[in-house]
Amino acid sequence: MAHAHPRQAGGPVFWNKKAQKLIFHLYVVRVMSAVSIYRVLLLVRAGWLLLEWFFGWDARRHVSFTFLHPYASLFAHAVAEFILLVILTGLWFFRRWARLLFVLALALSIIDSAFWPYHGLSLPPSVVFTITWCVVMLNGAIVAMCFRPPVRDVFVIQG
């Protein structure tokens, strides 16, 4: 019985190529997939932000603005949503200022929620409260990915 050539039988050359592909996958594809996951999280967060603003389900609306003028609350909230969308866009392009502002916005949101009760424009369906808690976890995942490699390394490169 004839022996096959080492390349055909899975000899040393074959395994070296497999090892090279594995190393490529571990160092290049893994980085790309972490960045892709990070960007998907940003898209989901931005989508939910727009959805809850459109339906008035968000808990960040304050009654105190409506005492000033009927449209003051709507205008202030639209400005806040725009600023948050700019921050999410900055995160998409890995800007360090956006990472800092996102963390500060989350900290202010936590402090604000401790002092103001929920005042949405309309009573959301019960599933919205569940999704809102998922968004809290989503925010945590975005912050964690911003400060952990490999996404953190892209922030350093992009500046």
* Whole-number Å distance between alpha carbons of 144 and 102: 12
Write down the pLDDT at residue 119.
Answer: 54
- Confidence grade of residue 18 (pLDDT, cut at 50, 70, 90): confident
pTM score above 0.95: no
Whether residue 70 is predicted with pLDDT greater than 90 in this model: the reply is no
Instruction: Indicate the SS3 state at residue 56.
Output: coil
Could you give the angle at which helices 151-158 and 96-115 cross, rounded to 10 degrees?
Answer: 120
pLDDT of residue 93: 95
pLDDT single digits (tens) 91-117: 999 999 999 999 999 998 888 777 765
Measured CA to CA, the distance from residue 10 to residue 12 in angstroms comes to 7
Backbone φ and ψ for 19, nearest 5 degrees, come out as -65, -40
